[in-house]
A and B are shown apart, each in its own frame.
Chain A
Amino acid sequence: MLDELRRPFFVIALVIILVVVLIEVGSPYMMHAADTSFDRPGYGIQYLVFIDAFLFYVSLLIGLALIIPERVQGRVQGCVTLILSFFGCLGIFVAIIFALIFIIILISLLFAPIFGTAAYLAIYGGFDRSGANVTLGLLMTLKIAFCVVLIAAHQRFLQSKSLVLLTLSSLLATLIVSFLINFVPGILASITDALGAIVVAILALIWAIVFMVGAVISIIKAIH
């Protein structure tokens, strides 16, 4: 049983999850790192950032506890979490509406023969599934590496229910996007990708609400 945190492993885990977030938001540096470019076609991959940003935030809080005194962190953490989760909720809600509108446009085009269907097939019929799979594969590899390195840093991380559940949610969300992109006929992949984005966003919205409620409770406790 490990008693002490192995800081190098923990820092590596933080860097890995930061890289995941950067790839999902489409950082120009990450997208062209080492002369390779990672495509992020569709909405599904981009929307994964909503969950992974929370995962990065939780990991960062654990890391900050090593640097900042516990007394100071206890006071600040609740307020910061409340602000972040509130704006996170708003952002995710708007993102859900965007994806919903996109799906409605796609469906109405697809079922409007001949020129609507033709436009759908010409523009959205050839979803870049290979590019999406490459990016999702990279993200999944990094996320699994994050889990392994985090356990290597300290086994007691497994006792943190929120961290474990959030990590599982992130992995599950990646699987959902992958499933929805790959298990439908190619011409429908754009629609199911947007559907996957909505599912992921709803999952992230639930987490944002959980964080917000937790933050409010901790602030009330701190006041009393």
Chain B
Amino acid sequence: MDSKKLVIVILIVIAVVFVIFAGYGSLTVYQPKRTNARESKKDAKVAPTPGWAKSIDSAFSGWQESVQLRCGPPPDQNSKRRCDDLGTGPIVVPSAKEPWLPLMKKTEFRTLKLVLLEGQRVHINYLDKKGGKNIDNPQFFDLPDLDNNNSLKGSIAVMENGGTLTISCLDNVPCRVGQE
């Protein structure tokens, strides 16, 4: 085949494939509208985390900038957690580290994963210094989380300037909360 004709055929094929992609994306796939934090929280509750998702999360979590909190006794060397006892009361959540590349901003979001290790019920409250971006401020939940299949774990979205985390044991029963 003449090279000119071959190029025209290739271009037509590329154009057709592109139209199929764009058409499929625009017409057939459900696309949720931009939601506010309250609606998103409901969506997050109804979506259980599948096993493969946990594997991806654990693979990437080591790469993410962690939230360094004041920790009571340091965790055992064998512990997979960052901290085994955060204590109770207000805890200062520091701001994100300064970026190591020029033109780079501070990490906008960090996730703080908490787990109830001892006790019956605990209330977690986090007040971000800056807030905004459609995220609840303060963010609060109880552990075990009745809205999340009685999960003993819960996460907070921490913005770049940090904030204050408050852990309160409920029902007058001592509790211990760790950080993953």
Q: Does A28 contact B (CB under 8 A)?
A: no
Given contacts A97-B101, A107-B57, A114-B147, is CB(A126)–CB(B32) below 8 Å? yes
Q: Which of A118, A130, A140, A182 contacts B41 (CB 8 A)?
A: A118
Residues in chain A near residue B133, CB distance under 8 A? 119, 122-123
Complex Cα–Cα for A136 and B64 (A): 31
Kindly state the separation between the CA atoms of A114 and B39 in the bound complex, as whole angstroms.
12
Q: Contact flags (1/0) for A169-191 with B, using CB distance below 8 Å?
A: 00100110011011111110100
Interface residue? A98 (CB, 8 A): yes
How far, in angstroms, from A123 to B49 measured CA to CA in the complex? 19
Q: Are B21 and A175 in contact (CB under 8 A)?
A: yes
Q: Once A and B bind, how many residue pairs between them come within 8 Å at the CB atom? A: 180
Segment 130-164 of B: residues with Cβ below 8 Å from A: 133-136, 139, 141, 145, 147-148, 151, 154-157
Q: Does B118 contact A (CB under 8 A)?
A: no
Interface size class of B (residues with CB under 8 A): 35 or more
**Interface: B29 (CB within 8 A):** yes
Query: Are A114's CB and B45's CB within 8 A?
Result: yes
Q: How far is the CA of A29 from the CA of B91 in the complex (A)?
A: 49
The answer to whether A111 and B11 touch across the interface, beta carbons within 8 angstroms, is: no
Which residues of chain A have a CB within 8 Å of any CB of chain B? 94, 97-98, 101, 103-105, 107-123, 125-127, 129-130, 133, 136-137, 140, 144, 147-148, 151, 155, 158, 168, 171, 174-175, 178-179, 181-187, 189
Q: What are the 8 A-B residue pairs with the smallest beta carbon separation, nearest first?
A: A182-B25, A112-B155, A186-B31, A117-B44, A126-B34, A111-B57, A121-B40, A119-B157
